[in-house]
Structure 1
Amino acid sequence: MIVWLNGAFGAGKTTAANELLDLLPGSTLYDPELIGTGLRAMLPKERLGQVDDFQDLPSWRRLVAETAAALLTEVEGPLIAPMTLLRQEYRDEIFGALAARRVEVRHLLLHADETILRARIDQRAATEGKSSRRWCLGHLPHYGAALGRLSAEAHAIDTSRLTPRQTAERIVDAIRDGAGAMDIVQTPEPTAETVAAGVLLFDEHDRVLLVDPTYKPGWEFPGGVVEAGEAPARAGIREVAEELGLRLEREPRLLVTDWEPPRPPGYGGLRLLFDGGHLGAEAAGTLLLPGAELRDWRFVTEDEAASLLPPVRLERLRRALRAREEGCPLYLEAGVPVGAGSRAREPEWEREAEPERVPGRGRDGAAVGES
């Protein structure tokens, strides 16, 4: 198990974590910031200059989960991780990867009034310098913007008037009561190429339905990994039923077949998108989301999808929409129609973006897969 202590700078995460070592037998302090420090020392300056924070490095987010899983093979546990984690997509990526490795996560939010946070930051700056103060104060607005979402997801403890020991005692009580448990579908990492089928559903304005997975960053199409011996179109129908509680009345029509090349650590494989047709307002009102997998759904225009989908999925959606307009399915390789042109016509993500992680199946049999 990993006890993730979230919150603004000055909330008392580190001091409480050190107190927890005395209160939770077998516990080990796990500081993900050390991974960021190591990456700063190893990565070229040119790469570091492209990010504002080490959390923006995909390698940091990947290593946080992998290192936690590795540590738990060496120590009794739990791991105590005092780390501010405000961005939803980073939370999804890290916690989803921990779930895939069967690592239980307890998410606790340590909160304090802003006046107290500022006073603690000033006190910390006395030893760490003014640059530390500017950094911490600069993140307070981001914390304020994320507070509503964090409070709804994590178990909150107000540390405004608590000593570090009292805070740790409250954390121990919360853990014993089962508070902060993260209900995330467990999608083990693939061990070979996969075939995944996604289904595009449209409203009366031809906006496309997207869903928001809890276990990976970015939005997605309804769909998932094709099981052994299963026809891809039938897999799309099954996934739509499992994820949304919706029974498609007809076989979906193929729009795009996209071969995704392997890029370590991803194995790649075939990604198919089908046209599931229009979904009326009455049917849309009956959609049901499995909370361990999906937190939200919405109909979006193509332009709106650009702010929600990762580049790989966005390019695939755009090709699928063109195929739907023209009434002719497309075969793609790495998002580009075969024979459509030279490497210069490849989308930007093909050359620069991180590879997309293709999840497997959860123990409950339902997962949103790559499409």
Structure 2
Amino acid sequence: MIVWVNGTFGAGKTTACRELVELLPGSLLFDPELVGDGLRRLLPADRMAPVSDFQDLPSWRRLVPEVAAALLAEVPGPLVVPMTLLREDYRDEIFGALAARGLAVHHLVLDPAETILQQRIRDRDDCPGDPQATARIRQWSLEHLSRYRTARRWLARDAQLVDTAGLTPRQTAERLAELVRDGSARCPIVRSSDAVADTVAAAVLLFDDHDRVLLVDPVYKPFWEFPGGVVERGEAPTDAAVREAAEELGLYLEADALRLVTVDWEPGTGPGRGGLRLVYDGGRLGGDATRLRLPADELRSWRFVTLDEAATLLPPTRHRRLAAALEARERGELRYLEAGVPAGIGAAAAG
């Protein structure tokens, strides 16, 4: 289990988390800044020169979940993580990777009033004996308050905000421990670590009157997706496509109205499972798109996009799958792919 304690600079995360590990038996403090410090030492100077925040390094965002999982293999847990995380797409990437490893994440934000934050920042002496360095850090922290103010909108939806005004670090830790124990700050999407085999998944492509395709933005994933999901045990893939459209979009499609356009073998990568990915043509929605209803704990939003627009939203393999599916749809064919590339039997006539 991960207890991620968020908040802007000066909120008191590290101090509270040091107290928190004393209240959660078997817990361990993990500061992801150590990963950032290591990357600064390891990466070439020309790679680090344009980077002002190590969170912008893809390697940092990949390593943090890896290190967290490795630490939890060594200790009983939970892992207490004091880390400012203000970009929603970075949260999606990191928490999604933790979820893929079956790790439950409790997301808490220390949220005192801004006037209190400003005063705490001004009172801090981050570099004793070096007033100029302390002044630079103080100014940098004050400037980042506006980033927190902006991020607070999505944090309020995603995490449990804790007003720490008037609380000592120990009292803050006690409040955090209560929230962890009652589960009120637990993120809702965590995939079981028991499932390690390849899977079969079914997706549905739906179109508007301009033949743009519908994509959805999942919670805790860095990329957009097609509507769809894993086929359950004993379930026909076409039935899974119908079920997923109902669960994710509030649409009730007829199974006999769907047409299979691509079958793609996706290799597993890291913690991600591979397997067969079936893509169905679900036809045009037209004005029916106004009745889409997304589950707030799974999907953030939807949009219709062209193939070129999808290139900025989908990972490369899925974009190749989409391109092949659109071509197969236009030609009335069924395509077999491997990692999004035509392979094996190639294109076969539909029917």
Residues 163-312 of structure 1 mapped to structure 2, 5 A cutoff: 163-186=168-191, 188=193, 191=196, 194-226=199-231, 232-249=237-254, 250-260=256-266, 268-279=274-285, 281-282=287-288, 285=291, 287=293, 289=295, 291-292=296-297, 294-302=298-306, 305-312=310-317
- What are structure 2's unaligned runs of at least 5 residues? 345-351
CA gap 1:110/1:224 in 2 versus in 1, 3 angstroms:
same
CA gap 1:73/1:151 in 2 versus in 1, 3 angstroms:
same
Work out whether 1:141 is the aligned partner of 2:146: yes
- Partners of 2:23 and 2:276 in 1: CA distance: 49
Residues 1-371 of structure 1 mapped to structure 2, 5 A cutoff: 1-49=1-49, 51-122=51-122, 123-127=124-128, 129-186=134-191, 188=193, 191=196, 194-226=199-231, 232-249=237-254, 250-260=256-266, 268-279=274-285, 281-282=287-288, 285=291, 287=293, 289=295, 291-292=296-297, 294-302=298-306, 305-336=310-341
1:203–1:299 CA contact under 8 A, matched in 2 = no
Deviation at 1:224, TM superposition (A): 2.4
2:104–2:190 CA contact under 8 A, matched in 1 = no
Deviation at 1:134, TM superposition (A): 5.0
- Partners of 1:259 and 1:178 in 2: CA distance: 38
Deviations 1:193-233 (A, max 9, x none): 55433211123444432222224222211122346776654
CA gap 1:236/1:188 in 2 versus in 1, 3 angstroms:
farther
Give the TM-score, by structure 2 length: 0.79
1:100–1:189 CA contact under 8 A, matched in 2 = no
- Partners of 1:121 and 1:267 in 2: CA distance: 44
Percent sequence identity is 60
- Partners of 2:69 and 2:272 in 1: CA distance: 19
- Structure 2 equivalent of residue 342 of structure 1: none
Instruction: State the one-letter code of the partner of 1:116.
Output: I
2:102–2:190 CA contact under 8 A, matched in 1 = no
CA gap 1:268/1:124 in 2 versus in 1, 3 angstroms:
farther
Deviations 1:43-72 (A, max 9, x none): 344544575433233443333233333333
CA gap 1:264/1:152 in 2 versus in 1, 3 angstroms:
closer
- Partners of 1:71 and 1:334 in 2: CA distance: 32
Deviation at 1:30, TM superposition (A): 1.6
Corresponding residue SS for 1:8:
coil
- Partners of 1:264 and 1:166 in 2: CA distance: 40
- What are structure 1's unaligned runs of at least 5 residues? 340-371
Instruction: State the one-letter code of the partner of 2:218.
Output: P
CA gap 1:299/1:158 in 2 versus in 1, 3 angstroms:
same
- Partners of 2:79 and 2:324 in 1: CA distance: 44
Instruction: State the one-letter code of the partner of 1:321.
Output: L
Deviation at 1:188, TM superposition (A): 4.1
CA gap 1:255/1:141 in 2 versus in 1, 3 angstroms:
farther
- Partners of 2:337 and 2:14 in 1: CA distance: 49
Deviations 1:127-174 (A, max 9, x none): 454453454344333222210110122111123443323322322333
CA gap 1:89/1:253 in 2 versus in 1, 3 angstroms:
same
Corresponding residue SS for 1:216:
coil
Give the TM-score, by structure 1 length: 0.75
- Partners of 2:141 and 2:85 in 1: CA distance: 13
1:199–1:240 CA contact under 8 A, matched in 2 = yes
Matched length: 337
Corresponding residue SS for 2:91:
helix
Deviation at 1:263, TM superposition (A): 5.2
- Partners of 1:6 and 1:331 in 2: CA distance: 45
1:8–1:84 CA contact under 8 A, matched in 2 = yes
- Partners of 1:266 and 1:176 in 2: CA distance: 29
Structure 1, 102-111 or 196-205: larger mean CA deviation: 196-205
